[in-house]
Amino acid sequence: MDAVGWGPLFAVLGCVYAAVTLCAWRNPELDAAPSQGPDRERRGQGGGPYPWRLWRELLAVPSTVWTVVFVLTYKLGEQGAVTMFPLFLLDHHMTAAELGFWNSVVAMGFSILGSSLGGPLLSKYSVRSLMRNTFVLRLVSMAFQTCLLGFRSHSVLIKGAAVLSLIAQHFLGGLITTLTFTTMMHCTQRAEERMQATHYSFLATLEVLGKLCFSVLAGWVVDWAGFQASFLLFLFLSAAATLHVWNAAEIGGQRK
């Protein structure tokens, strides 16, 4: 950004999006007609359920209510911290170029790494134990990040600690995302086959809604309460999500 400016940077990003859109538009696989399976035929013969009956059936699936609360709240504190901490660093410690490299390249790389490690870890450990331990680690990482707000030094040590906190947050966030979608799939598998696609789409929509809503509000909260008070709120929300996970009677089909 410092080298080329905002205009050329967004022009390049626009070209990338245009290229991806063109590839998707010309992909013949996307034009294939959906298969007419027996389940689809039964729905065509019997007609779809009333909306309120469908909602009732969705929420009646075992563990759905817990999962709904979980996907709406599990990212609240983390999303606020991940969104606002780079702005704090930009004001106090880092240049835009440094922040762009560490937060957009390195930290995002660790987020992808965390998501990728979710599969191998799930083959060795249960969803329940991984979820509990990862949420506790995320809470510790957020507490460490909150403590960094009290330092105004521009020393290399403080910058290194800030970068470490960014990497830890993104790595744990990526791992938690994989565990969350695995839990959602386990929950959906307990629904009737005719409504599994609707059930999973319902959970995935709420997951996105939970993340986006607080991202919109996080900036207003920081402007109103300041960084320190806001991060204490983020820490409290993360602690509440951790408590929700620890008190769960069942996660991913695994009971206490």
Residues in the chain: 256
- Confidence label for 18 from pLDDT (cuts 50, 70 and 90): very high
Q: What is the mean pLDDT of residues 189-211?
A: 90
pLDDT band at 43 (very low <50, low <70, confident <90, very high): very low
153 in helix, strand or coil? coil
Residue pair 222/79 in contact (Cβ under 8 Å)? The answer is: no
Q: What are the pLDDT digits (tens) for 208-241?
A: 998 888 778 888 888 898 888 989 999 999 999 9
Please write the tens of the pLDDT for every residue from 132-183. Answer: 999 999 999 999 999 988 877 677 888 888 889 999 999 999 999 999 999 9
What's the CA gap between 175 and 163, in Å, rounded?
A: 18
The rounded distance, in Å, linking the Cα atoms of 234 and 54 is 34
**189 dihedral zone (left: phi>0; alpha: psi -120 to 50; beta):** alpha
Could you give the CA distance from residue 147 to residue 183 in angstroms, rounded to a whole number?
Answer: 32
- Model's pTM, two decimal places? 0.79
Rounded to the nearest 5 degrees, what angle is found at the Cα of 20, between the Cα atoms of 14 and 26? Answer: 130
Q: Which residues contact 27 (CB under 8 A, 6 or more apart)?
A: none
Q: Tokens at residue 1, please?
A: 């950004």
Query: Distance between CA atoms of 181 and 208, rounded to whole angstroms?
Result: 12
Distance between CA 115 and CA 127 in Å, rounded? 14
Q: Report pLDDT for 45.
A: 43
Q: Are 222 and 105 in contact (CB under 8 A)?
A: no
CA neighbor of 65 nearest in space, from 246, 178, 206, 234: 206
The secondary structure element, H or E, covering residue 51 is helix 51-60
The percentage of residues in the chain with a pLDDT greater than 70, rounded to a whole number, is: 86
Q: Supply the pLDDT for residue 159.
A: 83
The pLDDT of residue 200 is: 93
Residue 157, amino acid: L
Contact of 227 with 85, CB cutoff 8 Å: no
State the average pLDDT for the chain. 84
Find, among 250, 248, 225, the residue nearest to 73 by Cα. 248
| CB contact at 8 A, 142 and 78 | yes
Q: Based on C-alpha coordinates, what's the Rg of the chain?
A: 21
